[in-house]
Amino acid sequence: MGRGKLRVYLGSAPGAGTTHSALAEAGRRAADGASVVVAAVDTQRRERTSALLDALETVPLHPSGSVDTAAVISRTPKLAVVDDLARPNPAGSPNPVRWQDVEELLEAGIDVLSTVGIHHLESLNDVVHQITGVRPDRTVPDHVVRRAAEIELVDITPQELRRRMAHGDIHPAERVDAALSDYYREGNLAALRELALLWTADQVEAGLARYRGEHEIRRTWEARERVVVALTGGPEGETLIRRAARVAARSRGGHPQPSHLLAVHVMPPNGMARAPGDDLLRQRRLLAELGGTYHQVVANDVPTGLLEFARGVHATQIVLGSSRRRAWQYVLGPGVGAIVARESGDIDVHIVTHEEVGSGRWPLPPPGRGLGEHRRIAGWSLALLAPALMSLVLALPLFSDGAADATLLLLITVSTAAVGGLRPALVSALWSAILLTALLSPLHGRPPVSVDNVLALIAFTLVGTLVAMVVEMAARSAAQAARARAEADAVTLLAGSVLAGNEPLHALLRRIRETFGQRSATLLERVSPSPEGDSGDDEGEPLDGERWRPVHGVGSPAADSPEEADVLVSISDTLALALRGRVLPAADRGVLRAFAAHIGIALEHQRLEWDAAEARRQAAGNRIRTALLAAVSHDLRTPLTSIKASLSSLRATDLALTEEDREELLETVEESTDRLNRLIDNLLDMSRVHTDSVRPKLCPVGLEEVVPITLLGLPADAVTVDVPDGLPRVLADAGLLERAVANVVANAVRYNPDPRVPVLVAASAHGDNVQLRVVDRGPGVSDEGKQRMFEAFQRLGDAPQGTGVGLGLAVARGFVEAMHGTLAPEDTPGGGLTMVFTLRAVEPGVDGSGGDTDDESVRGADAGPGR
């Protein structure tokens, strides 16, 4: 049995009607006699969807709540309906996610109808979050949906979807207003709809390309207008791109989309026609602004490469520029435009005129380009010396017949061309011809001027020229390849460093300085932009007379302004890279601009990190201020209210108070004052912790001295102490340690449910550390709660109201960490919570002092619950 077929209904937003469409299709299949079962569907209590479900056979879910794939397979239906591919299965299910259940059914040969929302596709998770502000909590891999035999888009306009929502067809009435004003805003729905349409269109296009490939269809199908513009890298490229953009816009009725305007630059394999970097870089930027995409292909023949690319992307139109060749150069053959127009078939070709028409273009590189200095010197040496030496040898009596004269001199010319290039080869050919005519011919009995000598001169010149051209082309190609490889390696390394965020801006500038051999590299920022907002001249350099300041720099002397730079590259309207040391050739400036762009990205990345850190600090401060306001308005107000009420009663002249009543009121005043004092102490301590103003005076402290002091004020039978004698002393500030331990012990006593089972405070040595454990048998804390209980003003849900502001544990951990120790929670075996203090042990005879404390040691106080 073969694999089943999957049909997916894709919705642009929740409520678009994918489940209804799947059930409607299943009902039609069942009415036609097919065996159909429903394996899993959630109707969301929608009447019309529920009515469709009632008419179909349903297979109960697995006891775990997932699809019962075994039951469905044993039923052997032709078609199964499994709603919501992205839904995670409950714990204990055979598969973690529902789309894996669907895979099992397909492998069993069962066709499946399923649904998915565009917001659940894994590749679009970030895009959906950016549009709606809500990150989907579950996704399905794109390849699962792409492998479907059929994908049907369930399209609906934003207005119709909002009407459905308003009528209560999607969510209950109490959720309608919130949904319409949040996720279901018209702009959100329009963006999601466009996302779904584009994704579906891409799948349709991929299917069309696959079909054309399978059936070897080369003819263009004008299902979608695609305009290809051919770029040579010359100055006419911008004119061609703008013209092609207008053609694409007219064909689309609007601005060109990236998939409708494509630019291609065809390069020969040897790189001889490599486009000028500056022109091509500007053209690529213009193309990006107009919504097009840039492509580069390698081909031996430019017309063939261009047409193959156009057919490969199913182009319908090609835009070419008129040839820049002069009239006499057409003797060498028709231009690229003529060949493309002749061979394009059903692709329309536009030949666009421009200002560079007929301006001429030298088809070959300048002589000597690509050869090293030592080779040119060797070539000139051969050209001047070798023919003379060879002529002296040929003048010997051994060569009396002169048969080898022309051959050997021609060998000298070829060797000179292979070593030194064109100019030395021409000199060698002329010098050899002179020696052959004036010296060797009369010596061997031949007339000085003869047809043979003229032919020899022509042969010397032609062979030397051809060999020199081939050599220079090969040398230039090798030099360009080596340079391109070095540039690519450098830019790739730099880009990788920036994207990974593992190389700071200072290191990037140092790398640029070393790469280009400069004395300094400085990043300049404009302080006051010009009113015109112009960033520079045509070369990308900022205008003079503006105020700049160095942001980062390496090396010296640094350029403090654009005028001091030997090389200046504009990064943006306000940033420029200034180098001092030497003037760079034009070939290096192209790659330097790429480096400068990465520097701008690195600076932006660094500043974003600073802004994010500052935002986090401000957010933390806002949370502290908000919680402090709540504490002042409630927790601090309660004892103040008690104090005022008691004092008012004591001062009242119309109340007859007994001595016992007075004592009780005075006791209330005293307790409320103590409580108020403890709360204020903790607020001050928390302020010290958050401002890093805690400076502990570290010295050897014995736990047997600290722990008893922390128990003052607690019931005698509430705590059991187990601090053995001979325990190593710890490096701590006695006052801070007392406060921290007192807060934790008081917190444990408060949450201990059974007074008959006291809180245990036990200490023990562990290697170089000493641990103090505070063990209670309370309700315990969840793993999530363990992370939150040390946050300032944090009280977990079971904390009694009015018992504190939730600073005790935060203060305790802050003090312990200031003493280079740790405070961590653990579960108590059998139930409860254990707080573990870990402090560094001090060897006998070591004072361990270090640091000062700004405050006198404060003995233990009740901090209020931390959980």
Q: Where are the alpha helices (DSSP H) in 133-276?
A: 142-146, 158-166, 173-181, 186-214, 237-252
Give the pLDDT of residue 38.
93
Q: Tell the burial category of 789 from Cβ atoms under 10 Å away from its Cβ (0-12, 13-18, 19+).
A: buried
Domains of the chain: 6-204 (3.40.50.300), 227-352 (3.40.50.620), 373-474 (no CATH), 503-610 (3.30.450), 692-842 (3.30.565.10)
Give the pLDDT of residue 25.
92
Q: In the sheet where 6-11 sits, what is the strand order?
A: 57-58, 36-40, 79-82, 111-117, 6-11, 150-154
91-110 per-position pLDDT tens digit: 888 888 999 999 999 999 99
pTM, 2 dp = 0.36
Give the pLDDT of residue 519.
82
Give the pLDDT of residue 846.
55
Give the pLDDT of residue 798.
44
Give the pLDDT of residue 81.
94
- Alpha-carbon distance of 108 to 115, in angstroms, equals 20
Q: Which residues contact 585 (CB under 8 A, 6 or more apart)?
A: none
Going 50 to 51 to 52 to 57, the CA torsion angle's sign is positive
Phi, psi values for residue 571, rounded to 5°: -95, -45
Give the pLDDT of residue 711.
84
Q: Residue 498 corresponds to which tokens in the numbers above? A: 């920036």
In the chain, which stretches have pLDDT less than 50? Answer: 220, 222-223, 253-259, 271-276, 360-368, 498-502, 529-545, 796-805, 849-867
CB of 730 closer than 8 Å to CB of 841: yes
